A and B are shown apart, each in its own frame.
Chain A
């Protein structure tokens, strides 16, 4: 019988929102749902998965899994897939999942699509769409054959159902066979930012060349702090060395789809638009009324960002506090 397994990523003792979205979608499929949680604290985190509709959780508590190692993770996830007999695997299109699941798809001979933006179930079968060609079009996905279907979804695309705190489920611990590893994770250097990554952020404030110099990103940080937003940047300012590459939105940077994207001093080159047109609401602030970003915006303000942004920050603070 067909069933769904949801790979649940977590941070600071909670399942990530992307995982909750996928558990909610899986519950709507009418198929049995299991969760897969890896890393120290997995058994505790599994309880959260039960509240969102999983009836079983495969867990691996080993501290060897505190940091991501592709070889170790692949071996334990392969075991979970075999053990669950799942026909569909859902995961967020995260850095970890995008590294891990293609390898597994090849190993088990399954089909995989990543960066998906639409997911629904009809008669237990997943209906999936994803953007192609930098978002210039979207396509439906047809899985062929009877193998495992692996679907990696962009976060912030699906609603989160209400948790049911009374629900529990069965925990199935997975043991780890000793392995001769060829890959060693020597170190994980934490980024300075405690904020949500651009790919997961609900609100993004992005800056471009219009900011004139590196120091002026402070203006955007203040605005972002008021909104609880993550700060992004255009390719031009990354290439100028103002901000690190991890902040770049667009082709050769990150593809983002927040609820609200505020583009400040960004003209909107096609490479930038490729990474953010999936945003629900786009605000453009630019002094050039001809800037291409205005074509893609929901709301546009033609003006000097050095005047507009501080006033706007004050205005947001007034209504949000």
Chain B
């Protein structure tokens, strides 16, 4: 069984962001990079299957600047994945080309029985790449998955939708599953795991080798802006009765939202 897990490296949420002087992007010199939190659920789910099927091979795939992205792949290998594939690509490759590159890297490596991803990356919150990879691989997908089980080559998943409703979906044959929080509890990399990860195979590819032209990008971000200065918070004083009636008055007459 071949399982591929697509991951992305993103700035840590706690990182303070600064923009480049020309506002074309963020200043990435002082950023702490982490594995996208949703991708950790995807890695964990693959490793859970590997526990049940020891012959399963779990391969971590990522697209991005090789120098830093390799760290995220090593994290996945330290958690227990078998192999890594890194596709060297410029910073901020768009979702369309990223999906193309991931699918091409997987196709060139083997025939996937299962592809796992996080439901979205917390940097641009676009939620495009998972379904794009599925489309380019020609397999069905299910996203925002918080429960998953396997039986006879069929996968049954539970997808959270609006209003607390859930869809129970069955997928036949190879497919792509995009993980939500709640699917599992990701393990931490152990020290022996970290040592072993250094010796695990890591395949290095580039966009040209996969036949992908960065000029075919569909979407670019520009004119980045930090949020406007917020007016100071209006603190409401007095006893509980005064605070309440003043708040209601402000919401109606000042903010006009009621």
The distance in angstroms between the C-alpha atoms of A280 and B247, with both chains bound, is 15
Q: Which residues from A are CB-within-8-Å of B245?
A: 315
Q: B252 interface residue, CB < 8 Å from A?
A: yes
Contact indicator A190/B236 (Cβ below 8 Å):
no
Contact indicator A137/B219 (Cβ below 8 Å):
no
- Mostly helix, strand, loop or mixed at chain B's interface? mixed
The distance in angstroms between the C-alpha atoms of A105 and B136, with both chains bound, is 11
A70-B140, A137-B226, A185-B167 known, 10 other contacts, Cβ within 8 Å: A95-B144, A95-B161, A134-B13, A134-B122, A134-B125, A136-B227, A189-B166, A194-B163, A255-B125, A296-B230
> Which residue among A138, A143, A227 has the maximum number of chain B CB atoms within 10 Å of its CB?
A138
Show 15 residue pairs from A and B whose CB-CB distance is below 8 angstroms, ordered by the A residue.
Answer: A67-B167, A102-B127, A102-B130, A111-B96, A140-B221, A183-B170, A184-B171, A186-B169, A191-B164, A193-B163, A193-B164, A195-B163, A299-B233, A307-B240, A312-B247
The distance in angstroms between the C-alpha atoms of A138 and B26, with both chains bound, is 11
Contact indicator B19/A115 (Cβ below 8 Å):
no
Contact indicator B171/A298 (Cβ below 8 Å):
no
Q: Which residues from A are CB-within-8-Å of B71?
A: none
| Interface positions of A from 258 to 273, Cβ below 8 Å from B | 259-260, 270-271
A121-153 vs B, Cβ < 8 Å mask (1 yes, 0 no): 000000000111111111111111101000000
Q: A213 interface residue, CB < 8 Å from B?
A: no
A166-207 vs B, Cβ < 8 Å mask (1 yes, 0 no): 000000000000000011111111111111110110010000
Q: A63 interface residue, CB < 8 Å from B?
A: no
The distance in angstroms between the C-alpha atoms of A135 and B144, with both chains bound, is 21
Contact indicator B247/A103 (Cβ below 8 Å):
no
A105-125 vs B, Cβ < 8 Å mask (1 yes, 0 no): 111011111110000000000
Complex interface: stretch among A25-33, A37-45, A52-60, A243-251: A243-251
Contact indicator B227/A137 (Cβ below 8 Å):
yes
Q: B160 interface residue, CB < 8 Å from A?
A: yes
The distance in angstroms between the C-alpha atoms of A282 and B252, with both chains bound, is 14
Interfacial residues, chain A to chain B (CB-CB below 8 A) = 67-68, 70-71, 94-96, 98-99, 102-103, 105-107, 109-115, 130-145, 147, 182-197, 199-200, 203, 227, 244-248, 251-253, 255, 259-260, 270-271, 274, 277, 280-281, 283-284, 294-303, 307-308, 311-312, 314-316, 319-320
Contact indicator A102/B170 (Cβ below 8 Å):
no
The distance in angstroms between the C-alpha atoms of A56 and B125, with both chains bound, is 32
The distance in angstroms between the C-alpha atoms of A316 and B250, with both chains bound, is 12
B209-245 vs A, Cβ < 8 Å mask (1 yes, 0 no): 0000000111111111111001101111000110111
- Which of B13, B143, B175, B257 is within 8 Å of A251, CB to CB? B13
Q: Given A106-B135, A200-B162, A274-B13, A114–B258 Cβ distance below 8 Å? A: no
Contact indicator B257/A259 (Cβ below 8 Å):
yes
Contact indicator A189/B223 (Cβ below 8 Å):
no
The distance in angstroms between the C-alpha atoms of A107 and B133, with both chains bound, is 11
Contact indicator B123/A133 (Cβ below 8 Å):
yes
Q: B4 interface residue, CB < 8 Å from A?
A: no
Residue of A nearest to B166 (CB): A189
Q: Which residues from A are CB-within-8-Å of B38?
A: 252
Contact indicator A111/B94 (Cβ below 8 Å):
yes
Q: Which 3 A-B pairs rank lowest in CB-CB distance, beginning with the nearest?
A: A191-B164, A111-B218, A197-B162
Q: Given A113-B126, A137-B226, A281–B11 Cβ distance below 8 Å? A: no
Return B165 CB to nearest CB of chain A, in Å: 4
Q: Given A112-B219, A115-B125, A183–B224 Cβ distance below 8 Å? A: no
